[in-house]
Amino acid sequence: MLTGLILVFGVLIAAFQPAPVTPDKPRNIILVIVDGMGLAHIALAEYLHRPPSPIQRMEIAGLQKTHSSSHLETDSGASGTAMSCGVKTFNAAIGVTHDSLPVPTILELARDSGMKTGFVVTSSVVHATPACFYAHVPSRGSYEEIARQLVNSDIDVFVGGGEKYFTHRHTDRMDLLMALKAKNYEIIRSHDPHGKFRLNRVSKENRIACFTAFEDPVRATMGRTYLPWMVQVAIDALEKRADKGYFMMVEASQVDWASHANDVDWLVLEMQDTYDMLEELVTRVQKEENTLLIVTSDHECGYISLKGKRSPRVEFNSKVHSSQMVPVFATGPGAEAFLGIYDNTAIFEKMRKLLGL
């Protein structure tokens, strides 16, 4: 009888055990910036994508204001700096205040706290948005100086084009690939057919510098397909190195370029590439329950609108950036912090607070 009572008591205790809950704060943060994406860009992708889309599966939606300290229509340097550093600055600035003073980035704070860091982009690695997370220069066009600062950033994994800024330099005779190797980076060229497989096999003691093109990566219309799978293998690389979590930035860079060009076919394929990447990413982070995923934009480009009866027809109304607010989507621990309307500088503050930096 006593044995029976013990068994019943055990069953009752098990029945009243609280269910596992998602932690209030994330261990990891992935920030996805879809450059140039506004609400009409999302509407276009939603109409063309089979539901439920990855955006629909995210828990929280908000809006951010994108103006810079110098213009109502921001550029990627000023908006990237706002999100990475929490300060408003002038257009073309990278990681500096409106007085051109350097200010720490969220990636640098994460690195200094012992977290692992990385980024994956479909631009060159020295382009404005990725540069805002590790460099500090008054002009986004200082590509060779930005490349030098990337070498010294100690980022664990980075993926994108722009190898020429490390080897074919005009401002000095430095061989920055050799400098990367001296800092324990394994250099991978994913345009080499073996690059995809080698990235997965890199020892966790080595950092990874993966160049997807000598200059800018090609358009999605020309067969570029690396973003969805490279994001996944970059996360794998960070996870096997991370004792204290990781911070990763992903940029779907060429949505902006297609919008500037007013090229509908290019834009459709860039948005599809973005959604393919987000499908895998949302599924992954919602299973893990310890990673906060944030998806937003730095600004809208093209003032685009949609028309048509049965299928969307894109109408471009300019070839430049607009001052429209852009959406912020979030899922995972801490996602509720991104509900509401706020300045783009709040993206930095919310991430910093959630990571305890």
User: What does the pLDDT read at residue 197?
Assistant: 65
β-strand 291-296 against 326-331: which pairing, if any? antiparallel
Query: Are 11 and 273 a contacting pair, CB within 8 Å?
Result: no
In the chain, which stretches have pLDDT less than 70?
A: 1-23, 191-197
DSSP codes, 221-272: GGT--HHHHHHHHHHHHHHTT-SS-EEEEEEETHHHHHHHTT-HHHHHHHHH
Query: Are 341 and 62 a contacting pair, CB within 8 Å?
Result: yes
User: What does the pLDDT read at residue 346?
Assistant: 98
Q: What is the pTM of this model?
A: 0.93
User: What does the pLDDT read at residue 318?
Assistant: 97
User: What does the pLDDT read at residue 198?
Assistant: 72
Verify cis geometry, omega within 30 degrees of 0, for the bond prior to 52. Answer: yes
User: Which residues have a Cβ under 8 Å from the Cβ of 247 and sit 6 or more positions away?
Assistant: 28, 29, 30, 31, 106, 107, 110, 115, 116, 117, 118, 351, 355
User: What does the pLDDT read at residue 200?
Assistant: 73
132-159 pLDDT, tens digit each? 999 999 999 999 999 999 999 999 999 9
